[in-house]
Amino acid sequence: MENPKAQHLHVVVFDVPFPPDYGGAMDVYYRLKALKDSGIQLQLHVFDYGRGKPVELERLGDVHYYPRKRVLRYLFNRRPFIVTSRMNKELLERLKKDQHPILFEGIHTTWYLEDSDIRKRLTMVRMHNIEHDYYKGLMKHANGLKKLFFWWESIKLKKYEAIIQYATCVLAIKSSDAAHFERHNKHTLVVPASLPMEGMNATIEKTAPFALFHGNLSVTENERGAKWLINVLNSALTEDFPLIIAGKNPSDNLQKYADGKKVKIVKNPEEKEMNRLISSAHIHTLYSEVNSGTKLKFLSSLSANGHVLVNSGISGDVEKNEHFFSAESPESYLHTFRSLMHKEIREIDIQERRAWLENTFGIQNSVSIIKKALNNAPHSKAFP
């Protein structure tokens, strides 16, 4: 007989996950959609700080929104700012109205994980990366007060991470992260990043002569990656083969950086336009100085039609293979880029790449892992 707890699930989300226009939103949204399609009734608890209340989330289940309170005094709390700014008593009251399982999306949302009543429930924490390492990486490339904030937040996150010991299980994004989290919680499962399977069924078509870098351009890591690409690729770019940089909220500084070069900045493209760019780019050029695991934009690029050129900061734990090109130094990146500009990508190459993607990152595998956890009590065979 099916465990009735498997039919309902509370999900506490750190940010509005629609539109799925950056890595964290993609991972959350496509997983929620797949869980809903599998028959699970979702109750979503979403922290909103500027992305609105899209009707698309209401199609996934009941949605409750909470403001993220970015209050100055929270900076001096012993807990990380990304956690304290998401505490909300109304959220706790709603969670306590029933005994349904709870999925906390990101360590950001775990303020109430150690609550005595919540600890009696079946709870899961989705860890998108080792957060204190991510903030340490951001610190290296920041200045002034921002550098100080990232440093202090990294220290607090490292200490706070132990809170995951109170969860029934932890859902790590990759195996090396899982090995790390097992220090705090031996019930750690690997649930790969949620690849949007819609792209797997996209038409295989000819690419257009341009390179593409896409992402949330308001994030320092992404702006630095875009500038690195402009510098490195500038000598190879032409009017007939430009670099397009597309994404959210590019700074004026980035726009000025691109001026006078064979580079086009596409500011805040609609979802349809972004999908068109991803589908038709001849080369996906992705670069990051911060290695915080496999980037979702890497997977979405692999599901498209063009060549994919990355560095290890983008590909993370994914072993090098014939489905993408990898380069670390500016010289090798430029050399590989030049070799790909007029290199045809065959239909069979794309078909094989998509088959590999579905086998490695298919969302149904992730849903199966989560449903197995939901269908078993904390001390059952699933969690010996």
Give the domains, in start order, of the chain with CATH numbers.
4-192+362-374 (3.40.50.2000), 197-360 (3.40.50.2000)
Alpha carbons 124 and 171: distance in angstroms, whole number:
7
pLDDT of res. 381: 36
- Band (1; pLDDT cuts 50, 70, 90): very low
Q: What is the pLDDT of residues 109-138, one digit of tens each?
A: 999 999 999 999 999 999 999 999 989 988
Alpha carbons 321 and 250: distance in angstroms, whole number:
32
pLDDT cut 70: percent of the chain above it = 93
pLDDT of res. 177: 92
pLDDT cut 90: percent of the chain above it = 65
pLDDT of res. 202: 63
Identify the residue with better confidence: 221 or 284: 284
Average pLDDT of the residues in 318-343:
94
Average pLDDT of the residues in 212-240:
93
Alpha carbons 59 and 64: distance in angstroms, whole number:
13
pLDDT of res. 124: 97
Q: What is the pLDDT of residues 243-292, one digit of tens each?
A: 999 998 999 999 999 999 999 999 999 888 988 999 899 999 999 987 76
Cα atoms in the 13 Å half-sphere on the side-chain side of 141 = 16
pLDDT of res. 294: 62
pLDDT of res. 197: 59
Q: What average pLDDT does the structure give for the chain? A: 89
Is a pLDDT exceeding 80 seen at residue 23? Answer: no
Q: Measured between alpha carbons, how far is residue 207 from residues 65, 66, 280, 341 in Å?
A: 41, 42, 5, 11
pLDDT of res. 293: 59
CA 21 to chain centre: 10
pLDDT of res. 150: 93
Query: Residue 382, SS3?
Result: coil
Query: Does the predicted TM-score (pTM) go above 0.75?
Result: yes
Identify the residue with better confidence: 46 or 143: 46
pLDDT of res. 199: 54
Q: What is the pLDDT of residues 137-188, one digit of tens each?
A: 888 878 899 999 999 999 999 999 999 999 999 999 888 899 999 999 999 9
Is a pLDDT exceeding 50 seen at residue 384? Answer: no
Is a pLDDT exceeding 70 seen at residue 201? Answer: no
Closest CA to 343 of 335, 351, 331, 355: 335
Alpha carbons 384 and 382: distance in angstroms, whole number:
6
Q: Minimum mean pLDDT among 57-71, 160-174, 192-206, 356-370: which range?
A: 192-206
Contact 45, 92 (CB under 8 A): no
Alpha carbons 71 and 26: distance in angstroms, whole number:
28
Alpha carbons 200 and 350: distance in angstroms, whole number:
10
pLDDT of res. 361: 82
Q: What is the pLDDT of residues 50-80, one digit of tens each?
A: 899 999 999 999 999 999 988 888 888 999 9
